[in-house]
Structure 1
Amino acid sequence: MYRNHYSLLASTLFMLAMLLLAAPRPIQAAAVTSNNGPNVVCPADSFGYTCADSNEPGILFNWIDISATGTNANLTDDSHLYPVPISFDFDFYGTPYNQAAIGSNGTVYFQNTYLTLSNGPIPGTNSSGVASLIAVYWDDLDPSAAGAIYYETRGTAPNRQFIVQFDGVPNFGTTANVTAQVILYEGSNNILIQHLDPSSEAGIGATVGIQGSTTTGVQYSYNTASLTSNLAICFQHPAATSGCGPVVWDGGGADNNWSTAENWSGDQVPGAGDTVVFDGTSSKDAAIDAAFTVDNLYVAAGYTGTINQTSPLVIADLYNHDSGTMIVSDGSPLTVGTTLNHTGGTLQQTRTVANASVAFLEITDGGANVHYRGVDVDTSSSGSDLGAVTVRVRRVDGVS
């Protein structure tokens, strides 16, 4: 059961405490974690791609589970699916692609050819003649034995994500099941490879990396047991102005304002397409002092401060609230596009109601997956008898 607290301001003050059940969608898991292990920063290849993993500041593991919402590629052993729509133009080594191939052996690439099970180093040649490829976990995987491979395009333009997920797919002839995914980002053209469970083999016979040609690529690992659970690897496009990782509130500025760059990791104010995280990095209070749009917002475990929203905030996809306090002021709408998960902390909204027998608490959700259960009214701070007041929750689109 998830508890949210909201408050209403009437001509005499009273507090509305609302029990809100935000049923978690399988599309999202609330894991935002860093890993423990050696830092890896891949040197730039000749095109300019670099990579860093979640042992580096600013790169966080954030698993997006599409096993219940994505399309099953229905691949068998040693097979591929083409064309798979990406639904946006994705620049990979200077060439825009709007469709991809998914290989059963832990790969994504851009031509109608089966890519061999025999992994190789990056950059390099292969017997299939596939020069441009993304090696999520390139090994002899067998989806006919167990697991499945899913794909999905999420979000709204110009900040969509194309995800391919290898879900519990074993190495051939073994029960070493691999769960990994790759995310292609619209706009930045960055690539994020995430390993939820690289199996007991941990990459001992696999390749992880990206390749643009037989002579150009960025290799993260090749035939080494170096992969760990909850590992994220960001391959950053040379033209990208931001990385794959979220923008984290570090409270380094002289004030509390969201618009102050020094309050954020990398001194970068988050905007459209960014994932924003408040966690134990800093529990300094924050003020949303201007209108902003972001992709996701995580108020994560470890954050104990208060976020005061005095200007409109649009969260295009997911709002996950685990800790701390968010206060949404009257007249400053909070819009959530896809999912609102509330598992802890306080989410409070103030609203002015003048001598009304029915008070509405409005949630602008953009169709978000949110369910409401029960309302309690606490009049202890009212200072006078409000009489009979009915409190209802309604979405701004008119559904109540």
Structure 2
Amino acid sequence: MRFTLCLSLIAALAVAASGSPFLSADAPFIPPRGGADAGYYFWDSMEAGEWAPVYEWFNPSDAQGWCGDDVCWSALAPFDIRFCGELHLAGSTVYVGSNGAVGFTEPGMAEPINQRIPDPAPPNGVIAPLWDNLHGSADGEIYLDLDGTAPERRWYITWSPWYFDHTWLDPIEFQIVFHETDTDGVNNTVEFRYRDLDGDSWRDHGASATVGLEDGSGLEAARYSFNQPVIPDEFAVRFVDQGYVDDHLGAFGLLTPDDGSVVGPGVPVRFSWEASEYGGHGQLLYALSLSRDPDFGDVRVFDTGADAWMDYIFGTGEIGPYWWKVMARETDLGLTRWSEGVFTLEVSASVIVESSWGTIKAEF
């Protein structure tokens, strides 16, 4: 079940940054259970379920030699990235800030004083795993790594080691992961991963940071936290397109005929399967694939529409083994899902249907 994360601003709670104005924090933190806004739902690694991330640190290797304070650098997106509904083609400029924020426009991307998003003031279109007053010190490094093969590549931006401002002995480590997608009109999944946020006693774990996504107008945001020490070490937060989640197809299994059944020619065989759970914006349709080849190299496809069943009569020329499975498809985004498993079926001329056996007995 998805719940919207409701965070209210209270002026009484403030966090002071050295040389910076007081920053109000959100109300006492309630762990999100699928928070939503700006076109995304989000979950963290303390949650269970299909959409919740499992923390896994990616060891970076492609160091950029970036190290500084209140600056940003430019990189090129390695694949198309749709962010908050706006498509940025492969090769678009991405600005990576020293203060733990990334975006597709430069103004404000090096800003050390974090904002409570959404906020129309720049920077806007922010991807903020840990927007805080940070710096690279003398040994800081930012990495850009591309992993996997199209269309399921992952682009990692990693700050490791990095430091809270005015500290240089205890580094922190965190990274962004952009997941490639080949589904048109869907925002790319974005994931934040935190290996170590113990770097300064009063600012540890997001106590003075903004964590979340903001659209290009600064009017909408999927905000995970603001000035709250709620980000433990070895932790992840995942943001997934709302439409993709809403149109998601639930797992479903095959029902009849039972796996390994033997049937005879000339009589109806009822193929049936569970209905996939679907609460999206389109129509749910099914197609049954039937083949003599276990690899479905030579296959017949039967569209059954919205029906989770189909009757078929095998002819005497269709004796032999078969394999069958079902694909569910929704019509909004065109998402598809195969049934869980594949069933086998044997059509045998030696099978005598009970009604036929009664006729045979009546003749003697």
If the length of structure 1 is used for normalisation, what is the TM-score? 0.49
Q: Quick one: structure 1 residues 171 and 44, their matched pair in 2 at CA, closer, same or farther if it must change by over 3 Å?
A: same
| Equivalent residue, structure 2, for 1:347 | none
Are 2:114 and 1:119 equivalent residues in the alignment?
Answer: yes
Give, as a single letter, the amino acid of the residue that structure 2 aligns with 1:87.
P
Q: Give the CA deviation at 1:122.
A: 1.3
Partner Cα separation in structure 1 for residue 211 and residue 171 of structure 2 = 16
- Which residue of 2 is the match for residue 91 of structure 1? 82
Specify the alignment match of 1:139 in structure 2. 132
Show the counterpart of 2:238.
234
Report if the CA contact (8 A) 1:61-1:230 is conserved: no
**CA offsets per residue over residues 23-64 of structure 1, 9 Å max, x none?**
xxxxxxxxxxxxxx974225322x431111111213233434
Q: Is the 8 A contact 1:182 1:194 kept in 2?
A: yes
Q: Report what 1:52 is aligned to.
A: 43
Residue in 2 aligned with 1:110?
A: 104
**Do the aligned partners of 1:66 and 1:151 also contact (CA within 8 Å) in 2?**
no
Partner residue in 1 for 2:154:
161
In structure 2, the CA distance between the partners of 1:139 and 1:146, relative to structure 1 (3 Å rule), is farther
Q: Which residue of 2 aligns with 1:371?
A: none
Aligned partners of 1:78 and 1:198: how far apart in 2? 19
**Aligned positions of 1:145-294 closer than 5 A:** 145-174=138-167, 175-187=169-181, 189-200=188-199, 201-212=204-215, 213-241=217-245
Partner of 1:77: 69
Query: Is the contact made by 1:77 and 1:142 (CA closer than 8 Å) also made in structure 2?
Result: yes
One-letter amino acid of the structure 1 residue matched with residue 45 of structure 2: S
Question: Hey, what's the Cα distance between the residues in 1 that align with 2:64 and 2:205?
Answer: 25
Shift of 1:66: 3.8
Residues of 2 paired with 1:176 and 1:225: CA distance? Answer: 17
Q: Which runs of 5+ in 2 are unaligned?
A: 1-28, 260-272, 279-293, 297-364
Residue aligned with 2:206, SS? coil
Alignment RMSD? 3.6
Q: Percent identity?
A: 27
* 2:189 and 2:239 in contact (8 A); partners too: yes
Q: Output aligned runs, 1:11-26, within 5 Å.
A: none
* Amino acid corresponding to residue 171 of structure 1 in structure 2: F
Question: Could you tell me how far apart the structure 2 residues matched to 1:220 and 1:234 are?
Answer: 10
Q: CA deviation at 1:125?
A: 4.0
The structure 1 segments of at least 4 consecutive aligned residues displaced by more than 6 Å after TM superposition are 252-256
Alignment counterpart, residue 43 of structure 1, candidates 24, 35, 38: 35
Alpha-carbon displacement from aligned partner over 1:88-118 (angstroms, at most 9, x marks no partner): 1100011112331100111110123443010
Structure 2 length as normaliser, TM-score?
Answer: 0.53
Give the secondary structure class of the aligned counterpart of 1:202: helix
Structure 1: how far apart are the matches of 2:36 and 2:57? Answer: 27
Larger Rg: 2
Q: Does 1:65 align with 2:90?
A: no
Label 1:38 to 1:253 Cα distance change in 2 as closer, same or farther (>3 A): farther
Query: CA offsets, 1:257-316, max 9 Å, x none?
Result: xxxx99xxx99xxxxxxxxxxxxxxxxxxxxx869xxxxxxxxxxxxxxxxxxxxxxxxx
Q: Which amino acid aligns with 1:118?
A: I
Asked if the contact 2:67–2:139 (Cα under 8 Å) also holds between the matched residues in 1, the reply is: no
| Aligned 8 A contact 1:192 1:233 in 2 | yes
- Give 5+ residue unaligned stretches, structure 1: 1-36, 244-249, 268-288, 292-400
Q: Which has the higher contact order (CA 8 A, sep 6+)?
A: 1
**Deviation at 1:168?**
2.2
- Map of 2:12 onto structure 1: none
**For the residues of structure 1 that align with 2:157 and 2:145, how far apart are their CA atoms?**
7
Number of aligned residue pairs = 222
Distance 2:246 2:63 in 1: 29
Q: CA deviation at 1:173?
A: 1.0
Which secondary structure does the structure 1 equivalent of 2:166 belong to? coil
Q: Are the equivalent residues in 2 in contact too, given 1:60–1:232 (CA < 8 A)?
A: yes
CA positional deviation for 1:71 = 3.4
Q: Does the 8 Å contact 2:66/2:142 carry over to 1?
A: yes
Using the TM superposition, give the Cα deviation of residue 154 of structure 1 relative to its aligned residue in structure 2, in angstroms: 1.8
Provide the C-alpha distance between the structure 2 equivalents of 1:211 and 1:74, rounded to a whole number of angstroms.
Answer: 25
Please state how far the C-alpha of 1:77 moved relative to its aligned partner: 1.2
Task: Check the 8 A contact 1:38/1:55 in 2, yes or no.
Answer: no
Contact 1:61 1:194 in 2 (8 A): no
Q: Partners in 2 of 1:239 and 1:155 — Cα distance?
A: 25
Matched residue of 1:88: which SS?
Answer: coil
